[in-house]
Structure 1
Amino acid sequence: MSQYPRDEFDKVPETSARQGVHRERLIPPRSSGLGLLITVGVLALLIGLAAYFVLPRLGIGSGSSNPSPAAQATAPASASPTATQTPSPDADTRTASPSPSAASTPTPTPEPTPSTPPVDRTQPVSVFNASGVTGLGAGVSGRISSAGWAVGTVGNWAGAPQQASGVYYSSPDQAANAQEVGAQLGIPTVAEVPGFTGVTVVLGPGFR
């Protein structure tokens, strides 16, 4: 006896020649349809691959939108010559050169004026009398002292005879002092002479 419950197929008589009819097929009836679908799908895939790789190599279906390489190579040769026209000789070329007014003119830089040392009245002023007038040196030294200057050596001139009065200084830093003394005494000759010490006044003939 079978351990499964009886169904409608078990109602067949045991002596009948149709025993086991319901177990005749071992493969489900749908198996043949599934195999057919698989076969059709494989064939379609193969046809698609052949169309994708083989047909473009044969030049089928390439269309006329993209010109062939030979057509592209000859395209520039057939271009219109008007694309490379040169400008007319009558074209106005005056704008190529800037006008003279547009050029920038460099502004000259003024040269710095050398600074003049300030007047220092504490520097001594020596007075030498070369005029031959007695007491003239002492009188001029008094005038210098009254103007606030320090007075140095006062005496008679022992050098070469002088033709005119002069104020002499030994270095550039004494130039302002010499100019100031010369202006106060009315002596126009002011010069730098290295042999003198500081500012020196030499009173020549005719000094008043």
Structure 2
Amino acid sequence: MVCDIEATMEAKNIGFNDAFNITKRKWSPYFVESQSIWMGLAYVKPKIVIDKCGAIMKKTVLYSLAIACVGAVLMWFLLKTSNADINLMFYFLYKGRWVLFAVSLIILVYHSWNILRTKAKTVFGYCYMRQFSLLPLFTLLINPTASFSTSFWGRFLPLAFLLMFITYYYFAFKIYSEHVKYVKRYFQLT
């Protein structure tokens, strides 16, 4: 917006106040309160923020869902066709979810503390704090009775949840990294 004010001042050879009013009118649709299904309908922010966060979360959700479904189906068929003990795998998966929960909670607290400590407000920081704060609870969706299930869905869903959790954390880390990079570049905070 600042660059647009300067460009308007130079192009039309007018003063700052006139250029500011013209630019403000031009940018006003971007500051209307909006919401996105990808961010959750409860979060109402200016359209410019919601559009950016919505694009980030749409990519995150769709890629995570696709990777989880394809990976879980491939893993399920691989385990079904091999002689591996699938019950043993689900036993370790169920026991390992508490380790995943603890590690993800520590990472989330560390990242959240860093975002809050910098006091720099970025779209990436907002997106991280709003969308990934409950991520450690995702590990609790791994079904403890999956090893006793003989149906496809009873064994498919825990694998899908695990893969989705891992890919979601990958995207959460990417969003956190973008926030840190943006803060270092524009706010000069270390």
Per the TM superposition, whether the score is higher than 0.5 is: no
* TM-score (ref. length: structure 1): 0.19
Larger radius of gyration: 1
Which of the pair has the greater relative contact order for Cα pairs under 8 Å at 6+ separation?
2
TM-score normalised per structure 2: 0.20
Q: Which has the higher helix share?
A: 2
